[in-house]
Structure 1
Amino acid sequence: MKKLHHSILLCFVIFNLSAQSFTVSSNKRFILKENKPFVWVGDTAWELFHALDRDSATYYLSKRASQGFTVIQAVALAEIDGLNSPNAYGDKPLINNDPTKPNEAYFKHVDFIIDKAAEVGLNIGLLPTWGDKIYKDRWGTGPEIFNAENAKVFGKWMAERYKNRKNIIWILGGDRNPRVGSQDVKIWRAMAEGVVEAYGGNDKVLITFHPQPNQAGASEWFHNDDWFDFNMFQTGHCRDNDVYNRIAGSYERPNTKPVVDGEPIYEDHPVCFNAKDLGTTNAYDVRKAIYLDVFAGAFGFTYGCHDVWQMYRPMSVPVNGPHLFWKEALELPAANQVKYLKNLIEARPILDRIPDQSLIVENNLSSYERIQATRGNDYAYIYAATGRSFTVNMGKITGKKIIANWFNPKNGQISEIGVFENVGIKKFTPPSSGYGHDWVLILDDASKKYVMP
């Protein structure tokens, strides 16, 4: 009997080790971790495994954890000559650039970083490879090493290695859109098949795809694939992008799947890659993108910094004119402001939140002065990008009386407005207006007595 008890216990432990931490919510709008709502607050640290030694990686991860991030997006076969330029310890990822012959020394370093992330409470959005290893173009240096056969082998090998880590979400794609008439889709599907096979089924692993900017995100190619769990966009690095339209289009698509922007406009990046004429992005650009993302229906959001994704440091080759070394750039304003949006999301019931532009009369303004609304059953958030006045159609949430407050995305501070009847229409004027003066109106069913974020 004792031997049987031990056998059952061992089976339970093994099952738990291979159980998937991340799942899609029953309404197909959100991500859960261990059956609780999970807020994706991502950072694009693409070169993390390739560029940093263990002390530096530990510093980076600890800092991002303290700033409220939850997901670090990083690439095993990295962008900046990730095959032929060794990591901080002189190790390359593959033997003879053969995806069927991974270099154990290199992946032990990847192991360390993934485990350190878990230790400080972070998850890894793990990209097996940057896309130029499937086809070379102006981003990345290749060489092209993947076909459908070895892509499946490599995907399965990586998934076998990491399937027992509880902090992994898989991101295929590596900043590439599959080319028309090519084998690209077949190769990516083969890699996904390898990952799924290692886990033992689609229901045991969470996978998405990181594309270049387009209108439909990764759903353009993979929306109905069984392995494809949520849609991911990249909206690029130009100001006043219509992020909300892309998110809304995905949100309304049949065969419902959660959606997130995995690479919106970066902080400290040349605007549209043209700093000379258009300048460099700032914290306000980042805030506007991430708030519009979430209020339009995204289940979370990603931040990025131009100096950090490439881990710009002394002696490294700069890409597109970074200004700061990565350690200094970790403290840029928007990086310290993402926690306020995270706090806002977590302060009210998450799983019943929906986008709802019918809350506001001025519901179709341009990107520059966009007003975007989201609500749950008994609360609403309305983002005003330039602090202009707007009119609310009351009665959209429960409650005879509504408590109204202003929330400042720059510092998370709350300003009381008052209590109002939940009928008719009501005009609200933010405390300040103009470029860089963004505000969120919080409306709550007074009977719920919600605590402010």
Structure 2
Amino acid sequence: MRVIWFIIVIFSMTTGSLLAQPLRVSDNQRFLVRSDGSPFFWLADTAWELFHRCDREEATMYLKKRKSQGFNVIQAVALAELDGLHTPNTYGETPLFNDDPATLNPAYFEHVDFIIDKAAELDMYIALLPTWGDKLHTRSWGIGPEVFNRENARKYGWWIGNRYKSRDNIIWIIGGDRTPRTDSDDVEVWQQMAKGIVEAVGGNDKALMSYHPQPRNPGGSSTWFHQDDWLDFNMHQTGHCPKDSYKNIAHDYHLKPTKPVLDGEPLYEDHPICFDAKNKGYSMARDIRRIMYWNVFAGAFGQTYGCHDVWQMYTTGQKGINGPLRPWPEALDLPMATQVRHLKNLMLSRPFLSRIPDQYMVVEDQENTKDYVIATRDEKGAFAMIYFPTGKKTRLDLSALKGDRFKSWWYNPRTGNSYRGNEITNSIDKVTITPSTHGLGNDWVLVVDSENSEFPVPGQSLIDIRTKYHD
């Protein structure tokens, strides 16, 4: 019996089931939680070409690196964007025989299996796109070929769903950078693929799923699929121009029925701003931080990061897409890749599942500029967080918080460090707050706690923050 038990344990470790728990939507329909009910802050990296361009050693190195940086979700594509049907993976395999979604190559998917299971060992989730959108319609930038229709999309969905139905660390993402065309059956094709997955895994409750669109205002996936039972949470792509993305999040946050929402593709680090490097340069960490904190404070349940060099797994000698600046292994250490964890740590250092956006806390009229100050708080008034992207002096209304006296902290999104601020008294209706530094790149979060709260220093979790403050 001891030998059998040892074998079972070793098998569990290799498949990752020992660590990764299934995720589900929280009872209030705003967040994701693990199967034990603990909160899950989605912190994803974008690695669209991971299955296609990386061998097993590279993929393992990549996953371990991102795990060490605090990431817990990896977004990757089975039928990849960059000529994924005809250019073989690093082992010489292509995913389909004769471009037919009904005849799949098991050897190709064995490599996908390996990476998914390696992620599970690290307690990481794969947000798995069954295909990139150019396999349905190429538009002007897709390679294709176009191989999907209503009939084979459902069969392919069933095949890939059946293959991974026992993996606890899969999050399904339909679509792949495509807006369904008007006067086409695109919407139905994606619905059929989703239905095939649902059938294979055994029901909607066993397939956590969303849709990855192109940039669109005001809604993203919600534009076509919000009422569909298979769509568990809404996803946006807010694109590669700096923008007021919090508007997109706020739009979906207020839709009925209530569903969680996040930005699944914001401006990438090291990306030509608005695809115009000559005139606008490349994005920097300050651009990415502003978008991420805006999104989460507006009500998103997490945030996706992306690096322009990494999503395409660019290496010297390859033909890069839109001017990558450096090989992907080097780009793993770009500033924002090490700073994103500070956002996750901050949000999990306070009650997570009771957090709501509350822009009424910011009294002043604001323009939609880089200075836009945004607020979020506990629905019972135990704490509030206010994000100052450029350190602008701002007038706040703290009347929604519990009590008359509050402790305050200043949290640095660049370093993850905190220091105590002044005690704040709510004896008057409004207080004026001035961060210590201002200007582009001088972003701060003011954390305001009720006087009798026992929360830890912002960003510093206790040994088991999942149960301490989130019961």
Report the TM-score, using the length of structure 1 for normalisation.
0.94
**Map 1:250-289 → 2, pairs under 5 A:** 250-289=252-291
Q: Which amino acid aligns with 1:31?
A: L
Aligned counterparts of 1:212 and 1:155: Cα–Cα separation in 2:
21
Q: Which amino acid aligns with 1:107?
A: F
TM-aligned CA deviation for residue 173 of structure 1: 0.6
Aligned to 1:112, the other structure's residue is in SS state helix
1:387 correspondence with 2:387: no
Q: Which amino acid aligns with 2:398?
A: M
1:23 correspondence with 2:27: no
Aligned to 2:195, the other structure's residue is in SS state helix
Contact 1:362 1:371 in 2 (8 A): no
Q: Find 1:443's aligned residue among 448, 452, 455.
A: 448
Aligned to 1:260, the other structure's residue is in SS state strand
Q: Find 2:82's aligned residue among 72, 80, 83.
A: 80
Contact 1:292 1:372 in 2 (8 A): yes
Contact 1:363 1:371 in 2 (8 A): no
Q: Look up the match of 1:321.
A: 323
**Map 1:395-406 → 2, pairs under 5 A:** 395-406=399-410
- CA deviations on 1:291-339 (whole Å, 9 max, x unpaired) are 0000001000000000000000133220000001000000000000000
Q: Find 1:409's aligned residue among 410, 413, 416.
A: 413
Aligned to 1:418, the other structure's residue is in SS state coil
TM-aligned CA deviation for residue 138 of structure 1: 2.5
**Map 1:307-346 → 2, pairs under 5 A:** 307-346=309-348
Contact 1:22 1:205 in 2 (8 A): no
Aligned counterparts of 1:177 and 1:143: Cα–Cα separation in 2:
17
TM-aligned CA deviation for residue 363 of structure 1: 5.3
Contact 2:32 2:41 in 1 (8 A): yes
TM-aligned CA deviation for residue 199 of structure 1: 1.4
Aligned to 2:279, the other structure's residue is in SS state helix
Aligned to 2:102, the other structure's residue is in SS state coil
Q: Look up the match of 2:179.
A: 177
TM-aligned CA deviation for residue 411 of structure 1: 0.3
- CA deviations on 1:50-84 (whole Å, 9 max, x unpaired) are 00000000000000000000110000000000000
Q: Find 1:159's aligned residue among 142, 158, 161.
A: 161
Aligned counterparts of 2:311 and 2:254: Cα–Cα separation in 1:
31
Contact 1:20 1:205 in 2 (8 A): no
- CA deviations on 1:193-243 (whole Å, 9 max, x unpaired) are 00000111112211100000001101000000011111000000012x121
Aligned counterparts of 2:198 and 2:426: Cα–Cα separation in 1:
49
Aligned counterparts of 1:324 and 1:303: Cα–Cα separation in 2:
17
TM-aligned CA deviation for residue 183 of structure 1: 1.1
Aligned to 2:407, the other structure's residue is in SS state strand
Aligned to 1:246, the other structure's residue is in SS state helix
Aligned counterparts of 2:451 and 2:264: Cα–Cα separation in 1:
35
Contact 1:357 1:363 in 2 (8 A): no
Q: Look up the match of 2:230.
A: 227
Q: Which amino acid aligns with 1:357?
A: Q
Aligned counterparts of 1:300 and 1:385: Cα–Cα separation in 2:
18
Contact 1:155 1:194 in 2 (8 A): yes
Aligned counterparts of 1:363 and 1:327: Cα–Cα separation in 2:
44
Aligned counterparts of 2:387 and 2:366: Cα–Cα separation in 1:
13
Q: Which runs of 5+ in 2 are unaligned?
A: 1-11, 460-471
Aligned to 2:192, the other structure's residue is in SS state helix
Q: Which amino acid aligns with 2:413?
A: P
Contact 1:72 1:125 in 2 (8 A): yes
TM-aligned CA deviation for residue 92 of structure 1: 0.2
Aligned counterparts of 2:339 and 2:97: Cα–Cα separation in 1:
42
Aligned counterparts of 1:229 and 1:85: Cα–Cα separation in 2:
33
Q: Look up the match of 1:365.
A: 367
Q: Look up the match of 2:140.
A: 138
TM-aligned CA deviation for residue 20 of structure 1: 8.2
Report the TM-score, using the length of structure 2 for normalisation.
0.91
Q: Look up the match of 2:220.
A: 217
TM-aligned CA deviation for residue 428 of structure 1: 1.0
Aligned counterparts of 2:140 and 2:282: Cα–Cα separation in 1:
22
Q: Look up the match of 2:6.
A: none
Aligned counterparts of 2:182 and 2:58: Cα–Cα separation in 1:
41
Contact 1:213 1:235 in 2 (8 A): yes
Aligned to 2:128, the other structure's residue is in SS state strand
The 10-residue stretch of structure 1 (210-219 or 314-323) with the greater mean CA deviation from structure 2: 314-323
Aligned counterparts of 1:86 and 1:375: Cα–Cα separation in 2:
49
Aligned residues: 437
Pick closer, same or farther for the CA change 1:412–1:313 going to 2, 3 Å.
same
C-alpha RMSD over aligned residues: 1.5
Runs of 4+ residues over 4 Å off in structure 1 = none
Q: Look up the match of 1:54.
A: 56
Q: Look up the match of 2:439.
A: 434
Aligned to 1:105, the other structure's residue is in SS state helix
Matched residues, percent identical?
A: 54
Aligned to 2:402, the other structure's residue is in SS state coil
Q: Which amino acid aligns with 1:24?
A: V
Aligned to 2:61, the other structure's residue is in SS state helix
Q: Look up the match of 1:375.
A: 377
Q: Look up the match of 2:463.
A: none
1:32 correspondence with 2:33: yes
Aligned counterparts of 1:33 and 1:100: Cα–Cα separation in 2:
34
Aligned to 2:60, the other structure's residue is in SS state helix
The 10-residue stretch of structure 1 (64-73 or 417-426) with the greater mean CA deviation from structure 2: 417-426
Aligned to 1:382, the other structure's residue is in SS state strand
